[in-house]
Structure 1
Amino acid sequence: MGQFRAYPYTANEATGHFKFQSVGKRGIIDKAIELTQIAPDIYNLALLDFDPVTQDYVDDSITDNGDMPEVLATVMAVILDHLSQFPRSSIVITGNSPSRTRLYKIAISKIGDDIKHQLKILGYQRSGWRIFEPNQSYESFLIARNLVD
């Protein structure tokens, strides 16, 4: 994703968790990307923060650690890693707020042309799924490999 590098992450394919650490102005924050199967070959993506109080990962916190480009690059790296291992799968991304959905749109918009041709990227609007265009607003996104049978 452009000049920003993804954080190193550890993958636990059994649980669908990809853990990494955000490093920024608020210190080091444990984060995870969770891929949950919601239908055959379709996975939902959630970006989570570790809550030290509950000792669990939650999706409703705002980290504001000043490293959003790196976090989004990490999300895209996990998506590409998953799709390379499971080429017939699709990943659905829906932000839990309009601002988080907008951040996902920004991340998807910054996918390099060298990778974009390998992917099918759709955005959901009220009228249904459409080919993703960076200047449109969407409620959710679907990313899959561009397979040629």
Structure 2
Amino acid sequence: MNYDKYESISGSSDSLEFEFTSEGPNGEFRKVVQFSQTSNPDIYNLGFGDKLENGNIDDHIRNNNQDRNKILATIAATVYEFTSKYPDKAVFFAGSTAERTRLYRMAITMNLEELNADFELFGLNINEKESVVEVFRIGENYDGFLVKRKLT
């Protein structure tokens, strides 16, 4: 993504967890990105939020630290790192709210050309009977997203 990102990212040796600090007018907030295996061993869920004192993640907090694009670029960098280590795994992500999922869709749309160079991108819609996965299309609403590193 063509945005500044936080450079001081610490990652676990297995590239399943990354931490960085959001800095802005409302202070400093520890952020964490976690990749956890789903019931499908080929798909990992991307979890993101504020790291709480007890080690849990709160994905509903709004810090309003005016660094949204920098945070999104940093999260994207962790996806690049994760899929570099695990190129055969796909990453699923969705916002904790419809508004955040829409934000992710807009970020993908604005950076689609760059992302398409490295990833296969899919939109996911979930209904009562099934999940429908399709190639990501601009202007479509999705319940979540799936990305997989293109193998070169």
Q: Smaller-chain TM-score range?
A: 0.7 to 0.9
TM-score by length of 1: 0.88
Q: After alignment, is 25-34 or 139-148 more displaced? A: 139-148
Q: Do the aligned partners of residues 134 and 112 (structure 1) sit closer, same or farther apart at CA in structure 2, a change above 3 Å counting?
A: closer
Q: How far does residue 14 in structure 1 lie from its aligned partner after superposition?
A: 4.2
Matches within 5 A, 1:1-149: 1-2=1-2, 4-8=3-7, 9-14=9-14, 16-38=16-38, 39-52=40-53, 54=54, 56-111=56-111, 113-126=113-126, 128-147=132-151
* Whole-angstrom CA distance in 1 between matches of 2:144 and 2:109: 14
* Whole-angstrom CA distance in 2 between matches of 1:134 and 1:110: 10
Alignment RMSD = 1.9
* Whole-angstrom CA distance in 1 between matches of 2:47 and 2:56: 14
Corresponding residue pairs, total: 146
TM-score by length of 2: 0.86
Gaps of 5+ in 2: none
* Whole-angstrom CA distance in 1 between matches of 2:140 and 2:119: 18
Contact preservation (8 Å) 2:123, 2:143: yes
Gaps of 5+ in 1: none
Q: How far does residue 133 in structure 1 lie from its aligned partner after superposition?
A: 1.8
Q: After alignment, is 43-52 or 110-119 more displaced? A: 110-119
Q: How far does residue 26 in structure 1 lie from its aligned partner after superposition?
A: 0.7
